[in-house]
Amino acid sequence: MTINNRVLPELRQAYSQFPGFRLQEDLAWSRSLLVQPPLEKSKLVHTTNCMIPRGDGGEMLVKIYEPIERNRDKLPAMLWIHGGGFVMGHPDMDDLLCERFVQTANCVVVSVDYRLAPEHPYPAAIEDCYAGLVWMTAEAPSLGIDVKRVAIAGASGGGGLTAALALMARDKGGPSIIFQMPLYPMLDNRNETPSSYEITDAQATWSRLNNLTAWRMYLGEEKDTNELSPYAVPSRADNLAGLPPTYTCIGQLDLFRDETFDYVTRLAQAGVDVEMNLYPGSFHCFEVFVPEAEVSQRASQNYLDAMARALHP
């Protein structure tokens, strides 16, 4: 389905000019689209790179962002999980966003460089994210963070990993999480919802074909899709009770729209406090692709403010 005439005018040019990911044909080229040129660092945020243990016993990079001027008081913390459909992306691409979280929510942000599929299929990514959460809370004294105020967040594929991580932390009995923010999350490999059939444009920021391909790369060809863990596919979780309060948002022209609706509904039915914003005329990752647009500024400020409220109740 062509949705170009439904896209907001302020977003339309970027949507029509994006070349589209080609995961099936050229994964390396697709990954190159997410490589960001070096950005000027904020003078108010200090960034540190650190190697920590990952899920398989190896090492992975984490990036730590914190206010340059901070006193001895412990700060709340947020684990950030970058997007990229489980097959693309790197923490570097979210430097600016993580700096904004630090400044808006007055917190420490730890961003994890989890392993990517298809080289490292499930459960590598979620194991690495959980290892990052465990490391962050264990290192609370050296990081100067308050373990009673820890949140997790991510976007797109990182949003799906955020939802999976909340389930895993609940089931393992910790670390304790007071808030989760899975933004326009990638939750369901079945691709059966109406919205999953709506976005088929080749140049879409995330199309049905790319979604099918990414799930196949992540789960592997031989997986019995009827016996998948909710840590792999969060939409398959039978029980959402006991999860932390949640914020999410999504564009109306995002193929994840309906699976997000279903997730939010089930959270609410399970007694989890949940807030959601829907943005008409907006496609997947619209605020990343067109950050200067009014709707993008409004959307990003809304989720930055939601994190600030959660970490400073």
The string of pLDDT tens digits covering residues 166-196 is: 999 999 999 999 999 999 999 999 999 999 9
Q: Which residues are catalytic?
A: 156, 254, 284
Kindly report the average pLDDT of the chain as a whole number: 95
Domains and CATH numbers, the chain: 4-223+233-311 (3.40.50.1820)
pLDDT per residue over 34-74, tens digit each?
A: 998 888 889 999 999 999 999 898 999 999 999 998 888 99
How confident is the model over 256-282, as a mean pLDDT? 98
Residues 284/156, Cβ–Cβ less than 8 Å: yes
How confident is the model over 281-294, as a mean pLDDT? 98
Q: What pLDDT score was predicted for residue 76? A: 98
Could you give the CA distance from residue 27 to residue 21 in angstroms, rounded to a whole number?
8
pLDDT per residue over 74-128, tens digit each?
A: 999 999 999 999 999 999 999 999 999 999 999 999 999 999 999 999 999 999 9
Name the band, by pLDDT with cuts 50, 70 and 90, for residue 214: very high
How confident is the model over 123-146, as a mean pLDDT? 98
Could you give the CA distance from residue 89 to residue 251 in angstroms, rounded to a whole number?
21
Residue 224 has pLDDT above 60, yes or no: no
> What percent of the chain clears pLDDT 90, i.e. is strictly above it?
90
- 2 C-beta neighbours (distance < 10 Å), count: 9
Q: What pLDDT score was predicted for residue 223? A: 56
pLDDT per residue over 1-32, tens digit each?
A: 578 889 999 999 999 999 999 999 999 999 99
Angle at 232 between CA 259 and CA 51, to 5 degrees: 120
Q: Is 215 helix (H, G, I), strand (E, B) or coil?
A: helix
